């Protein structure tokens, strides 16, 4: 029958008990900003380009070549 050695836990327990006084959690002063403008701009440009192509194709008299 093997015995469980609890000696390391006896050393770690007081250290772990002192940690809550050392750790501080605080909200940041400035809000976190996630910039997603690149993807939105690309989608808008593609949609505008498609709309322009459709307008030119449907109204060739407005855009002579």
Q: Is residue 65 part of a domain?
A: yes
Q: Is residue 28 part of a domain?
A: no
Q: Is residue 54 part of a domain?
A: yes
Q: Is residue 16 part of a domain?
A: no
pLDDT digits (tens, 9 = 90+) for 1-53: 566 676 666 667 776 766 666 667 788 899 988 876 665 566 667 788 888 88
Entry pTM: 0.33
Domain carrying residue 55: 33-65
Q: Is residue 56 part of a domain?
A: yes
Q: Is residue 55 part of a domain?
A: yes
Cα 31 from Cα 13, distance rounded (Å): 37
Residue 41 has a pLDDT of 63
Residue 62 has a pLDDT of 81
Number of domains in the chain: 1
Residue 28 has a pLDDT of 85
Q: Is residue 50 part of a domain?
A: yes
Residue 20 has a pLDDT of 62
**Contact by Cβ (8 Å): 41, 35:** no
């Amino acid at each position: 029958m093997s015995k469980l050695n609890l000696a390391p836990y006896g050393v770690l327990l007081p250290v772990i008990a002192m940690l809550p006084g050392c750790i501080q959690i605080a909200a940041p002063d400035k809000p976190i900003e996630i910039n997603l403008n690149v993807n939105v701009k690309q989608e808008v440009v593609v949609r505008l380009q498609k709309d322009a192509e459709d307008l030119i194709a449907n109204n060739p008299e407005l855009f002579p070549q």
